[in-house]
Amino acid sequence: MSDSMLVCVSDYWQRCHYLNRPDREAGDSCRNGKTLRRLLLQVDAINGNYYLREILQQTVLVDRLKRIHGVQLVWLQFHPPERDTIDYKWADMLAHTLWEHIEVEHLMSWLSTLGGGFSALGEQFGKCAETAGKISLQQLKIGMRLGDPFLQARCKLYYSISLIQRGHLRPAKHLIRAQYSFARQHVETDGRLVRMCQGIWLRLRYEYEQRRIQKQKRLK
């Protein structure tokens, strides 16, 4: 038998759920019809959850059960607790997390509206394009805090628009290509990213073409 302890959790309806079950090919004794020496613990589900965590995580405890007491199987028989308990600490943490997420989503909406306005003005005014870029970077920071890679990709694309408007075509090109590669890998999850990359790329090509035409005029 492997070093891990075989554990069986029997729920309220006496359905058995096995953990650390060895593979069939391992030839373990529990697969060969042999009787395993087991430790039966009849506990309520709340305490049983702590028992289960200790058995699965504490290697010293498992080693003592196996080596000193010869236990091969821990059988946890759960029954309903006498009184349901409320985890107020976890509830407070969850409420705070949800509230923070709602506030961040609200902030992102305002930043998107504000950034879109400055981006539109950035077509004519360089300062507005620069401000739009700063807003995109703030959105990127929020996306990194939320751990949302798709939101981060969209913010980087918004920032690339600001780079194009300010004439920084080369860094914008590398940024768009990187996000396009990411979007192609996750097209089934968010197909909008591919279309965003393609649209901004067309804008980049237009700016390169305009720059080429201006260069030819100067040479003439």
Superfamily (CATH H level) for 88-219: Tetratricopeptide repeat domain (1.25.40.10)
Nearest to 208 by CA among 158, 161, 170: 170
pLDDT at 33: 55
The helix/strand/coil state of 57 is: helix
* The pLDDT value given to residue 23: 52
According to the model, what pLDDT value does residue 135 have?
A: 92
Helix (H, G, I), strand (E, B) or coil at 8: strand
pLDDT digits (tens, 9 = 90+) for 127-183: 999 999 999 998 898 888 888 888 899 999 999 999 999 999 999 999 999 999 999
Both tokens of residue 216?
């030819």
Token pair of 33 as six digits: 């019809």
Residue 210 exposure: Cα atoms within 13 Å on the Cβ side: 10
- What pLDDT, on a 0 to 100 scale, did the predictor assign at position 173? 94
Q: What is the mean pLDDT of the chain?
A: 85
C-alpha 212/C-alpha 116 separation (Å) is 28
147 and 154 in contact (C-beta within 8 Å)? no
H/E segment holding residue 18: strand 16-19
- Tens-digit pLDDT profile for the chain (220 aa)? 446 788 999 988 889 888 876 654 444 444 455 678 888 999 898 888 888 888 888 888 888 888 888 888 999 999 888 877 777 888 899 898 888 888 888 888 888 888 889 998 888 888 999 999 999 998 898 888 888 888 899 999 999 999 999 999 999 999 999 999 999 888 777 778 899 999 999 999 999 999 998 888 888 7
Q: What CA dihedral angle connects 118, 159, 172 and 149, to 10 degrees? A: -160
Structure tokens at 23: 């593979």
Residue 77 near residue 41 (C-beta atoms within 8 A):
yes
What residue ranges do the domains of the chain occupy?
Answer: 6-79, 88-219
Would you state the pLDDT for residue 166?
92
